Amino acid sequence: MNMKTNKYIKYLILIIFLTSVLTNQLLAADSINDEIIAKQKQIEELKRKKELYEKSLSKTRQQINTLAGQITNLDQTIDKVNLEIKTVSLEIEETNLQTQQLQEEIAAAEKIIEDHQQIIADLLRLINRRSYYQNNLTALLTNDSLGAFFNHVNQINKINNSLKQKVDDLDSQKVELTRQNNLLTQKHDELIGLQNQLSSNEEKLNSDITIKNSILKQTKGEESKYTILLNQLKKEQQQINSEIYNLEIKARKKLLESNSKQFLASEKGFIWPSTSRLVTAYFHDPDYPYRHVFEHPAIDIAMSQGSAVRAIKSGYVAKVKNTGNSGNYNYIMLVHSDGISSVYGHLNRMIVAEDTFIVQGEIIGYSGGMPGTAGAGNLTTGAHLHLEVRSNGIPVNPLDYLP
């Protein structure tokens, strides 16, 4: 074998060496792996504890018609939310570690591939040189047999094929690593959403603590006073629901009689009523503290006191319930096309008038909800917007309509 063939073999040895370096680099992140595994174990333990709380809550929710049962339920809900907060935080940390690990692996693969490409380029320059063909012609003339010449050529081809295969393998590794990194990016985006959920949970945690303290303050720990409080809340909710239902029927009848073209005009889709999308209580939320009195017919959106509230869809202002500074419940009801209406509760200030039309995105009022403030009502625990969506008068899940 001549000197040039020996040079090719040296390049092949270098390729194999570099491939082994890449393999070592891909396996070098043991410390990160250990951290990831540790966090996964912590997450699994927290999820196991949460499942235990869920089982316990399913029992205590059946007993919240008593003061002791309600306080126990709130305590367990608070503990469960704390577990959810810890779990999401750990999942975010885990994903950050996985992302860091893959970025290091991809950087290593790119460096090795770059080195391989340079080697291949050098080999191609050698192969394409005129002297290469001259040397092969010399080999043909000087070899004792034609078989020795073809053996020489076959060795060169085998080396080139091996080099090409190595580069192809590394390219495949790079594609796979990039795919994994894209998947982790998607997962991280999902966890950003969970980070928002984390904020919602923190808001809910504060809300549940406020509810617990409020109940204990109003009842002074007496079961009889708690029973009176529940009856008042139930009566108030029934009155509000009946009022909204009847008002919508009257509003639609009026609109049909007037044949309002402005009302019939409708843009596609809905929008959120606020910049905030932090939901602290969901439609028919199983953790809603007064669920045994009534199903929560809305979503509660965390909003600071005095934030602008916008119409989720163009429509007709059927009701502006303004109780002034009495602290009673304020709300606005809008009637839209296709049998849909929306209700905005706990408003501190309203700036639209009844029997008018508004367009999607128009400010209709400003949020309230802080206990004791105008429009807050008796069921509030802090600043937020109570948003209902109704289909033919029946409450439906707003999240099925909001983008």
Q: Which two tokens stand for residue 259?
A: 């044949």
Q: What pLDDT does residue 133 have?
A: 45
Share of the chain above pLDDT 70, in %: 78
Give pLDDT tens digits for 361-376. Answer: 999 999 998 888 999 8
Give pLDDT tens digits for 38-75. Answer: 888 998 998 888 888 888 887 777 777 788 888 888 88
| Lowest-confidence region among 8-17, 179-188, 235-244, 254-263 | 8-17
- Are 347 and 388 members of one domain? yes
pTM exceeding the 0.75 threshold for the entire prediction: no
Distance CA 98, CA 325 (A): 54
CA dist list (Å): 267 to 236, 263, 336, 337, 383: 35, 11, 10, 10, 30
Distance CA 199, CA 151 (A): 71
Distance CA 391, CA 337 (A): 10
- Are 78 and 174 members of one domain? yes
Distance CA 262, CA 271 (A): 19
Q: Could you tell me the CATH number of the domain that includes residue 71?
A: 1.10.287
Distance CA 20, CA 13 (A): 11
Query: 197: domain range?
Result: 9-217
Q: Could you tell me the CATH number of the domain that includes residue 279?
A: 2.70.70.10
Q: Which two tokens stand for residue 245?
A: 């239902």
Q: Which residue has the higher pLDDT, 149 or 307?
A: 307
- 281, 288 contact by CB (below 8 A): yes
Instruction: Reply yes or no on whether the pLDDT at 289 is more than 60.
Output: yes
- Are 389 and 330 members of one domain? yes
DSSP secondary structure string for all residues of 290-317: TTTT----SEEEE--TT-EEE-SS-EEE
Mean pLDDT estimate for the chain:
80
14 confidence band (pLDDT: 50, 70, 90):
low
Give pLDDT tens digits for 303-312. Answer: 999 999 999 9
- Are 209 and 226 members of one domain? no
- Are 260 and 324 members of one domain? yes
4 part of a folded domain: no
Number of domain units in the chain: 2
CA angle at 355 for the pair 354 and 356, rounded to the nearest 5°: 95
Give pLDDT tens digits for 379-391. Answer: 787 899 999 999 9
- Are 248 and 384 members of one domain? yes
Distance CA 371, CA 6 (A): 86
- Are 45 and 192 members of one domain? yes
In terms of Cα–Cα distance, which of 323, 322, 291, 331 is closest to 211? 291
- Are 180 and 269 members of one domain? no
DSSP secondary structure string for all residues of 72-118: HHHHHHHHHHHHHHHHHHHHHHHHHHHHHHHHHHHHHHHHHHHHHHH
- Are 243 and 136 members of one domain? no
Q: What pLDDT does residue 297 have?
A: 94
- Are 200 and 226 members of one domain? no
179 part of a folded domain: yes
